Amino acid sequence: MRSHRGFTLIELLVVIALIAVLLGLLLPAVQQARAAAARVGCANNLKQIGLALHGYAAAQGRFPPGFIYTEPVVVPGGVTPKVWDRPPPIEFLRSYNPGWGWAAVLLPQVEQDPLSRRINYQLPIGESEPGLAATTLKVYTCPADTRAGVFDVADTYAFPVLSAATNSYAGNSGANGTEFFGVKPGSGVLFANSRVKVGEVTDGTSQTIAVGERAGILAQAPWAGAVTYGTVTTTPAAPVYVSVMLPAPAMPLARVGFKKLHDPWAEPDDFFSPHPGLVQFAFADGSVRPVRTGTDVPVLRALATRAGGETVGAEW
């Protein structure tokens, strides 16, 4: 008869302790690997967007509009429709129809031609085929954006206007201050009814931001564009100190104001990334590069303008 010696209690505790230590050492490495993979996936999305921008520019002779906007039609006799027959409404009540944004316009260039064919770009987003705007698109979803997905676009009273899928990226409307860009021409590449040609980016396409990260962890916005009467609001539990509500043009667009990237006072129309220490951008030359969160504001503002005449060094 042979006897088999098992583990003693002390030996078993030692083995468990060793396993716990090994797991503790392994977990950060796994998390870092996942974060790196998500960052690469996000960069690939932006690269596809950058190529799509140039594909569109090659075909149309210009970059796409930030979003499509039609002024209210004036009826015979010089009388505007009843809803407009009064002093100009505040930005939240303005009609931004049809509102389709740069991401919707670029659908054929990002291998989503069947979806594009279902869109009537002359009709408002809210009047489009039911469920169309709620289509989730991988190319517009950062893998690290934990608040990406389908959500309800709400009005100023928090009532749902439209169910839509998020976009983790926003077009660069330029370097703007506290005034809201609305439907005014911006100093960037994309804004309401923009028709910017590649040759008009005189600051250099490699030094001018076209599209950048604005993740749902800061503010959820639809890839479809600017939804009339809808708002874009700071996401609950966002890693910032302030909650802000902005009107529809902030859905497809962001800008560089007077704050650094990942500023704790960031607002829904700021660029913001789920990746620590950096925000990734597709530049007007189609390249994708990260910008450090510590980059000085004047440098960020210079990168945001297409023809500001600024000199940008390599400090970003």
CA–CA distance, 131 with 163 (Å, rounded to integer): 7
Written as six digits, the tokens of 106 are 């670029």
Number of H helices, E strands in the chain: 4, 11
pLDDT 10s digits, 17-65: 777 777 777 666 656 667 788 999 999 999 999 999 999 999 999 999 9
Contacts of 13 (CB under 8 A, 6+ apart): none
13: left (phi over 0), alpha (psi -120 to 50) or beta: alpha
pLDDT 10s digits, 68-77: 998 765 444 4
Q: Which of 276, 267, 266, 215 is nearest to 245 (CA)?
A: 267
Which domain range does residue 147 map to? 16-304
Mean pLDDT score of the chain: 87
User: Per the structure, how many domains does the chain have?
Assistant: 1
What own/partner pairs with CB < 8 Å and gap ≥ 24 does 285-293 have?
285/50, 285/204, 285/205, 285/206, 286/47, 286/50, 286/51, 286/53, 286/54, 286/205, 287/50, 287/206, 288/43, 288/46, 288/47, 288/50, 290/43, 291/261, 291/316, 292/261, 292/316, 293/260, 293/261, 293/262
**Residue 241, pLDDT score:** 96
Name the residue with higher pLDDT: 5 or 53. 53
Residue 218 in domain: yes
**Residue 306, pLDDT score:** 95
Which alpha helices (DSSP H) does the chain contain, by range?
A: 9-60, 102-105, 113-117, 297-304
Residue 310 in domain: no
Residue 139 pLDDT exceeds 50: yes
Residue 154 in domain: yes
- Residue matched to tokens 């479809």: 224
Written as six digits, the tokens of 301 are 């503002």
**Residue 79, pLDDT score:** 47
**Residue 74, pLDDT score:** 45
Mean pLDDT of 115-120: 96
Residue 3 in domain: no
Return the exposure string of 249-267: e unless at least 16 CB atoms fall within 10 Å of the residue's CB, then b: bbbbbbbbbeebbbbeebb
Residue 22 in domain: yes
Residue 80 in domain: yes
Residue 11 in domain: no
pLDDT 10s digits, 149-206: 999 999 989 999 999 999 999 999 999 764 455 678 899 999 999 999 999 999 999 9
Percent of the chain exceeding pLDDT 90 equals 71
Residue 256 in domain: yes
